[in-house]
Amino acid sequence: MLPSFLVRMLRRGGYAARMGDRFAIYPEEVLKILGRRDSLSDSHDLSHGDLEPGEFVWVHAVSVGEVRVAGRLMREWRNVERGVRFCFSTTSSTGWKAAESEITERDVLIYNPIDFPSFVKSALLTIRPRALVLTESEIWPNLIRRAARAGIPTFLVNARVSDRSAPRYRAARLFFGDVFRSFSGIFAQSELDADRIRAAAPKADNISVCGSFKFDAAERNEAKELEMGEWIFCGANGDARPKLLLGGSTWPGEDVALLKIYKRLVESPKSRDGILLAIAPRHFEKADAVEANIKAAGFRCIRRSRGDRPSPDGGPAVFLADTTGELMGLYGIADAVFVGKSLCAHGSQNMIEPCLCGKPTLVGPYTENFRPVMADLLSSEAIVQVKDEAELGERIVALFSDGGALARELGERAKSAVERRRGVVARCVAEMRRAL
């Protein structure tokens, strides 16, 4: 694994921080919080179910979306058990940064150990969790099986199996069947996800369908909405405020598509000077390329990370939101939202967040990572899914061309659809606590 880590350190930066965690070698301040004097690697074989549990619930999540899901779970758990403490693990620097806002001073934040027997064993002996909770598709076979053998209740929450992973799990069911059956409970997002797990783990009786945690994880941030509104609108509000088209979590190619659509809007006599565009790329390291595309399209680039401010006499501009933790603030002030990784890449990003804000939301044809969520939203006519860039342009133009009636109606349906499906996290936390 070491060559891979070295490459990531060179490419991404920040990967060298807390490298010891990945080998279950923890700094003194972490060991102190955990109540240990040193990282442990004794002769205990973790195979008899007699590991004396500590007071921490170990929660693992990787992506920013997963971290938010895990954060919502921890808040709910704290609501019903005031003394609970969490050991939160992640694998990436972006996940770490997101996780810092989800833990309290009573919790501890670590990088997940490499899924190799000796490192997993040492981590379990050091943390001694009273439970292990993994999110979505975080299947770490050594960690799962060794925790189960040690008698640690282990759960997979908001579980999903992608189109890509499903045939692999099924083909390797002799291996993965044992892994999935090691869980004390698996809470699947949909019947399809549950069926895919059952195909990989025949006779598994630990699977239930609970719905998506993401409906609960989405939360508005009114303070951030005010801050982002001041940046983009410079204090203008009401009828004096221009409309905002937002591309959220865009991938390469999607910013170019939005710039073409925006050019069409600003050149229209009906909307000139009345519409703004903001682009929030999914990966901030791509921001320079997005800025180059903005300038190539003939617009000024107002970049958040540089502290740029709009000027009234500078000509048409595009806002580039390339900072962490501000996307929900943008969703709250937008008038129409396109959610990325759905037009020029596969999988999609989270469309629940703009829907919760009551915004008319559009996605492309590729939303595999949110299949159950999309099924719910489409059945409520609460979201617009387009087949290509041309249809995306037509739908956006329509939203801005009728005085906003269509946009308001779609936004109201979106908000109602999300509100009706909340409450999943509380039910799952109750089930896990009963199992404990």
Phi, psi of 168 (to 5 degrees): -70, -45
Report yes or no: 156 and 213 within 8 Å, Cβ to Cβ: no
Q: Which amino acid makes up residue 240?
A: A
**Residue given tokens 């109540």 in the structure block:** 35
Indicate whether 109 pLDDT > 60.
yes
* CATH ID of 222-420, from 2.50.20.20, 1.10.3720.10, 3.30.360.10, 3.40.50.2000: 3.40.50.2000
Q: How many CB atoms lie within 10 A of CB 241?
A: 17
Longest dimension (CA), the chain: 76
Closest CA to 415 of 330, 326, 332: 332
- Total residue count of the chain as it appears in this document: 436
Residues 179-186 have a mean pLDDT of 96
Tokens found for residue 20: 């010891």
What pLDDT is recorded for position 42? Answer: 53
The domain ranges of the chain are 2-211+423-435, 222-420
The mean pLDDT value of the chain amounts to 91
Confidence band for 12, pLDDT divided at 50, 70 and 90: low
> pLDDT tens digits, residue range 301-337?
999 999 999 876 667 899 999 998 899 999 999 999 9
Ranges of beta strands (E only) in 145-288 are 154-159, 185-188, 207-209, 243-250, 275-281
> pLDDT tens digits, residue range 345-403?
999 999 999 999 999 999 999 998 898 899 999 999 999 999 999 999 999 999 998 77
> pLDDT tens digits, residue range 250-281?
999 999 999 999 999 988 766 555 899 999 99
**Residue given tokens 């109602």 in the structure block:** 416
Q: What is the DSSP letter of 305?
A: G
Asked if CATH classification 3.40.50.11720 holds for the domain at 2-211+423-435, the reply, yes or no, is yes
CA distance 51 to 28: 23
Closest CA to 190 of 209, 216, 177: 209
Indicate whether 46 pLDDT > 90.
no
> pLDDT tens digits, residue range 120-146?
999 999 999 999 999 999 999 999 999
CA distance 426 to 23: 34
Same-fold call for 2-211+423-435 versus 222-420: yes
What pLDDT is recorded for position 273? Answer: 54
Confidence band for 2, pLDDT divided at 50, 70 and 90: confident
Q: What percent of the chain has pLDDT above 90? A: 75
Closest CA to 130 of 185, 74, 84: 84
Distances (CA, A) of 89 to 42, 60, 107, 132, 138: 22, 5, 11, 11, 11
Q: Where are the alpha helices (DSSP H) in 201-253?
A: 214-217, 222-233
Cβ neighbours of residue 12 closer than 8 Å, sequence gap 6 or more? 93, 285
Instruction: Report which secondary-structure segment, H or E, holds 194.
Output: helix 191-200
pTM of the model: 0.78
> Among the listed ranges 34-38, 55-59, 96-100, 298-302, which one has the minimum average pLDDT value?
34-38
What pLDDT is recorded for position 43? Answer: 54
What pLDDT is recorded for position 64? Answer: 85
Tokens found for residue 298: 């003939």
Indicate whether 290 pLDDT > 90.
yes
Task: Tally helices (H) and strands (E) across the chain.
Answer: 19, 14
Tokens found for residue 294: 């903005």
